[in-house]
Amino acid sequence: MNEQESLINELETKVSFLEETVDILNNVVADNSREIEELKIAIKFLSGKLRECSVSNVALPSEETPPPHY
């Protein structure tokens, strides 16, 4: 095998590893995108629940009973 064929084989090997790496990274990006969408939905749901449950422990001034010295 001459030097040129050796170089071509080395480049083909590198390209093969790079293609595998790109496929792996593509799968990771797709998984992350799905997870981000699921988290966005969960945040919207929890935000709605929080708005429903946000009851203040402090009564409005009109609802307060007068202090005992009145």
Digit-by-digit pLDDT tens for the chain (70 residues) are 799 999 999 999 999 999 999 999 999 999 999 999 999 999 999 999 888 886 666 667 777 777 787 5
CA distance 11 to 44: 49
Neighbours of 36 (CB within 10 A): 10
pTM for this prediction:
0.62
Query: At a CB cut-off of 8 Å and minimum separation 6, what does 43 contact?
Result: none
